[in-house]
Amino acid sequence: MLIFITCSCLNINDSYGKEKIPLIVITDLYHPHQDPGDNFELINAYAMPEFDLKAVILDCYHPFRNKIAKNVSKGLWEDPNGPREPGMICVQQLNYIFGRDIPCGVGPLEQMQQKNDRMDDLSDFFNQGINLLKTTLEQSEKRVTIASFGSSRVLAVAFNRFPALMKRKIEMIHLSAGTGGNDPEYLEWNVALDTLAFVSLMESGLPITIYPCAAATKGVAEGGLSNAFKGAKDNTYYQLDDLSFVEKMHPKLRQYVHFVFTRSTDADFLGYLDRVDLPGSVALPQYQHVWETALWMNLAGRRLVQNPQGEVTIKSENEIETTDLVFGEGVLKCDIRVLPSGIFSYRENIKGLFYIYHRDNPARYQELMNQALPAFYTSFLR
């Protein structure tokens, strides 16, 4: 049974006559970027009218702050493209563009040592993210939805410190992590970032919808093989084949994306947004690996649709016409069993405690998303 769990059963957007979704984003966002998709996708939290963004928490990993990441955990890459730091600059740029004052805090940079680790010895600086989560939950009149991209460390440590608050005030955790297909061995990146944290969170009893990033079979990417670059029915990966639409985005958002891809470390990171780069002056990548879009669309209650004329767009559910063809995606209610290794398996069960993302046809999803996404992003701030 495929359940389209959208925020019609949680909270929804004000612009369609319903309430906005109180939202906290936890992201492994860096500057300069590690995955530019993290910078790109945070735009959604600010721009989509369904969301009432409350806070952004930066979940980063200390080795990636170095010029070359050494002694990283199993499943991670000794990234040679550093140094980089948690992406406070990126959050401030989006605050500037959207005229907002969204608070931002940094979480712990080191991995948990055991599943019940409270990390009580953290300095005030590295307690920022956990304290921001706690304060935001306490102050919100409504239950809060969490979108998590990166490790589960902030959430797991927070649960070890204040479990009752999290059980009482969290509506749903939408977790971008893991390998689909009941794969017995592939450790996906976000799980590998802090495996103990992932296991701890999955065993917490908190409401979780999981969006696996990796597939149970290998795909070809950049001359190699990796489960992370292969679409499957129960994962979210697709390849965005053309980023030329960036040049048609709102001028400040275009500059924001340009700043990402130039990897600029200039001090005038706000002034850069007020410039107008000449067409073609910033080299955009030929393609982009994407894992996050499905989470945002399902969280917001948006759907990929094709009208009778063949036009593919992203619509809210109440905008869909009877003549539209709606791409099949949603979440399955299921049981999930997670091993100490971070590998998990799932079994569909209408009485299960978890939800897992599922789509009908990953190749078709990629085709449709490549048609629909340019208009989606160029519509922001128009």
- Residue type, position 203, single letter: E
Could you list the pLDDT tens digit for every one of the 382 residues in the chain? Answer: 444 443 333 223 333 347 999 999 999 999 999 999 999 999 999 999 999 999 999 999 999 999 999 999 889 989 999 999 999 999 999 999 999 999 999 999 999 999 999 999 999 999 999 999 999 999 999 999 999 999 999 999 999 999 999 999 999 999 999 999 998 889 999 999 999 999 999 999 999 999 999 999 888 877 777 999 999 999 999 999 999 999 999 999 999 999 999 998 889 999 999 999 988 899 999 999 999 999 999 999 999 999 999 999 999 999 999 999 999 999 999 999 999 999 999 999 999 999 999 999 999 999 999 999 999 999 999 9
Q: What is the pLDDT of residue 6?
A: 38
- Residue type, position 231, single letter: G
Task: State the helix-helix crossing angle for 153-161 and 195-202, rounded to 10 degrees.
Answer: 50
Token pair of 245, please?
């639409």
The sheet with strand 104-106 has its strands ordered as 104-106, 51-58, 21-27, 144-149, 170-176, 208-211, 354-359, 329-338, 344-348
Token pair of 261, please?
């891809």
CA 96 to chain centre: 21
CB neighbours of 306 closer than 8 A, spacing ≥ 6? Answer: 312, 324, 325, 327, 368
- The closest alpha carbon to 334, from 158, 212, 238, 232, belongs to 212
Residue with tokens 């479990």: 163
Token pair of 354, please?
């978890």
CB neighbours of 127 closer than 8 A, spacing ≥ 6? Answer: 108
Token pair of 154, please?
């902030």
Q: What is the pLDDT of residue 181?
A: 94
Omega within 30 of 0 (cis) for the link into 103: no
The model's pLDDT over 197-235, given as tens digits with 9 standing for 90+, comes to 999 999 999 999 999 999 998 888 777 779 999 999 999
* pTM over the 0.75 mark: yes
CB neighbours of 58 closer than 8 A, spacing ≥ 6? Answer: 27, 28, 29, 86, 87, 88, 91, 104, 105, 106, 107, 129
What CATH topology corresponds to 14-299+329-360? Inosine-uridine Nucleoside N-ribohydrolase; Chain A (3.90.245)
Q: Where are the domains of the chain?
A: 14-299+329-360
Q: What is the pLDDT of residue 119?
A: 98
Q: What is the pLDDT of residue 207?
A: 98
Q: Where are the alpha helices (DSSP H) in 113-238?
A: 128-139, 153-161, 163-169, 189-193, 195-202
Whether the Cβ atoms of residue 68 and residue 82 lie closer than 8 Å to each other: yes
Q: What is the pLDDT of residue 225?
A: 78
The model's pLDDT over 249-260, given as tens digits with 9 standing for 90+, comes to 999 999 999 999
